[in-house]
Amino acid sequence: MAEKVEPAIKEATTQDSALEKPTPAAVTQVMSRPSPKLNTSPTHGLWALTNRDLKKWYTNPYQLIISLVQPVIWMGLFGKALNFTSFITSGAPPGVNTNAILQSFFGTTSYFSYLVCGMLIFIVLFSSTFAGMSVVWDRRFGFMNKALTTPVSRGTVVMGKILQSVGRSIIQAVAVLLIGIVLGMETSNFTVLGIAGTFVVIFLVAMGLSGLFVMLSLRSTNWQTQMAIINLLNLPLLFASNALFPVKIMPSWLQDVVKVNPVSYAIDAIRQLLIGATGSYALWVDFSVVVGFAAFFSIVGIVMSWRLLSK
């Protein structure tokens, strides 16, 4: 420990003489602003804050790789072991139209492709829950307070947190999609518009979910509480959705829960856009729900930030 301090002090002492008496020219140069051309727009600092968080991530690829382990396990082990397509096709007596059965349950004949679409939102869900954790760390280590003593808008601070989480979600979703294709996802129905639409949905869901979790973390300096909230919310949001299983086989009370879970609508939209599955709802219904969800939580997040960050 001591040897780490040493160079700093040497540095300090060797330059003492040079700094003892700064020239008057240097004085005016250092401490008077050349021209007060400050950026006072309400969104200034947004990119700086977003990039600060993203940088932690893209300079440390291990985090990205580790975050992909879970969906890979789900797709590779769960998706391949509990493959409903072979379950139904290999078990059905001859003469039964297995494709019609698969269609009626999954809206497509490939369960694996069905699952990959669910996994795209799964990764967004798990990634977004951690948007709140980064707020908790920033609060505990004082960065949040430092940012709040600058003229940066409170809404910008929250928006930066949401956007960095959205950025991560999108990159992770791209990786999951690529892995899914490698593992045997059906790509025959891919269209440019479909893929673009899929990522619009991912963007919106990531926005809504990050907004939700950032909002829940704004007053917290305790990461244990935050972990508890994450665990409380993310598994129910996953299992009470159509991510893994068709809604049709669920008990009716669970179907009602699935109907109010915005995650279901996002996955439903992605399945229609990406693999041409028959959806449970019309595409415009899915989109309206997802847009509403994203708008609600990002606006509420920003409004709450004004109240909660200034107490």
Distance CA 44, CA 151 (A): 9
Distance CA 46, CA 163 (A): 9
Distance CA 132, CA 168 (A): 14
> Does 60 engage in binding with other proteins (CB under 8 A)?
yes
Q: What is the DSSP string of 113-143?
A: HHHHHHHHHHHHHHHHHHHHHHHHHHHHTTH
Smallest separation (angstroms) from other proteins to the CB of 265: 36
Distance CA 244, CA 175 (A): 19
> Does 34 engage in binding with other proteins (CB under 8 A)?
yes
Q: Please list every residue from 108 through 147 that binds other proteins, using CB under 8 A.
A: 140-143, 145-147
The site map against other proteins for 37-56 (x = CB under 8 A) is xxxxx--xx-xxx--x--xx
> Does 17 engage in binding with other proteins (CB under 8 A)?
no
Smallest separation (angstroms) from other proteins to the CB of 211: 22
Give the count of beta carbons closer than 10 Å to the beta carbon of residue 78.
Answer: 13
> Does 19 engage in binding with other proteins (CB under 8 A)?
yes
3-state SS assignment for residue 221: coil
Using the rule CB under 8 A, give the single segment among 6-14, 104-112, 175-183, 248-256 that binds other proteins: 6-14
> Does 90 engage in binding with other proteins (CB under 8 A)?
no
Q: At 196, phi and psi to the nearest 5?
A: -60, -45
Give the count of beta carbons closer than 10 Å to the beta carbon of residue 87.
Answer: 13
Distance CA 68, CA 8 (A): 41
Q: Out of 117, 136, 152, 207, name the contact with other proteins by CB under 8 A.
A: 152
> Does 63 engage in binding with other proteins (CB under 8 A)?
no
> Does 91 engage in binding with other proteins (CB under 8 A)?
no
Chain residues in the site for other proteins (CB under 8 A): 1, 4-5, 7-9, 11-12, 15, 19, 22, 26-27, 29-41, 44-45, 47-49, 52, 55-56, 59-60, 140-143, 145-152, 221, 310-311
